[in-house]
């Protein structure tokens, strides 16, 4: 049943749902988006769907082509690099402001998070959520949790690249160990070591991108002039053919 007259919070919920499907790769890079299908799936009218898609175009996660349709944007390696630069700068800066003694509640939250990571098995989506919570928790330990929302809102392309990496080249166990080594270094007061480990951990995404682009180039922007063309399914081609 389609809801009418949605509140602002409900409209934001629709936005979160669609954005989540894009980040989770339920809506793959380059895929056509059907407003009708989303309306049925989310049980809302097309108006909040359109509003959400408009917001997502501003994040460059969605592209609209007049007389053709609306599409999930392909992953842009340049935007991945920009978001990675921002994320690394903020997280490492936060780490440099750590002061002991630490908040016991935040420490316990991080310990539980690491325990939960060890139990995810092959559930990559669950691991992705826990990964986000771990990095947010590190910033909370330094008193900068409020800055996480700024980082999170800027890294849509980065998050999709990370999700592709986790799905295509699953190495959750190694990521969990990297998290644990960062946490152990922090707790032991070895902040410089923690920073080095964190930087190396965050930069793994670049290796993943190169491997995935070689395997599935259609998921990434290569030729920025390419547009979707139906043949009979949609493919992305440059105007020059």
Q: Where in the chain are the domains?
A: 8-73+221-237, 77-214
The first and second tokens of residue 2, run together, are 């389609």
For domain 8-73+221-237, is the CATH number 1.10.10.10? yes
Per-residue HEC secondary structure of the chain comes to CCECCCCHHHHHHHHHHHHHHHHCCCCCCCCEECHHHHHHHHCECHHHHHHHHHHHHHCCCEEEECCCEEEECCECHHHHHHHHHHHHHHHHHHHHCCCCCCCHHHHHHHHHHHHHHCCCCCCHHHHHHHHHHHHHHHHHHCCCHHHHHHHHHCCHHHHHHHHHHHHHCCCHHHHHHHHHHHHHHHHCCCHHHHHHHHHHHHCHHHHHHHHHHHHCHHHECCCCCCEEEECCCEEEECCCC
The first and second tokens of residue 95, run together, are 């780490």
Per-residue pLDDT of the chain (241 residues; tens, 9 = 90+): 445 556 767 788 999 999 999 999 999 999 999 999 999 999 999 999 999 999 999 999 999 999 899 999 999 999 999 999 999 999 999 999 999 999 999 999 999 999 999 999 888 889 999 999 999 999 999 999 999 988 888 899 999 999 998 887 667 889 999 999 999 999 999 999 999 999 999 998 888 888 888 889 999 998 778 888 887 778 888 876 5
The Cα–Cα gap between 44 and 2 comes to 4
Q: In CATH, what is the architecture of 77-214?
A: Up-down Bundle (1.20)
What is the pTM assigned to this prediction?
Answer: 0.85
């Amino acid at each position: 049943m389609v809801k009418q007259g949605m509140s602002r919070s409900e409209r934001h919920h629709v936005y979160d749902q669609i954005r989540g499907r894009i980040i989770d790769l339920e809506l793959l890079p380059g895929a056509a988006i059907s407003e009708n299908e989303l309306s049925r799936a989310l049980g809302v009218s097309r108006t909040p769907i359109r509003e959400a898609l408009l917001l997502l175009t501003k994040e460059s996660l969605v592209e609209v082509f007049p007389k053709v349709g609306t599409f999930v944007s392909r992953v842009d390696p340049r935007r991945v690099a920009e978001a990675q630069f921002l994320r690394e700068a903020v997280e490492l800066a936060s780490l440099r402001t750590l002061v002991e003694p630490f908040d016991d509640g935040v420490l316990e939250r991080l310990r539980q998070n690491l325990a939960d990571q060890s139990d995810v098995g092959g559930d990559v989506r669950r691991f992705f959520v826990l990964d986000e919570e771990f990095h947010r928790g590190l910033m909370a330990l330094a008193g900068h949790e409020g800055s996480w929302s700024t980082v999170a809102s800027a890294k849509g392309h980065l998050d999709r690249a990370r999700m592709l990496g986790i799905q295509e080249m699953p190495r959750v166990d190694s990521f969990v160990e990297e998290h644990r080594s960062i946490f152990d270094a922090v707790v032991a007061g070895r902040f410089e070591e923690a920073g080095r480990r964190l930087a190396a951990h965050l930069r793994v995404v670049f290796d993943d991108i190169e491997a995935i682009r070689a395997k599935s180039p259609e998921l990434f922007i290569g030729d920025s002039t390419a547009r979707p063309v139906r043949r009979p399914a949609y493919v992305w081609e440059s105007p020059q053919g």
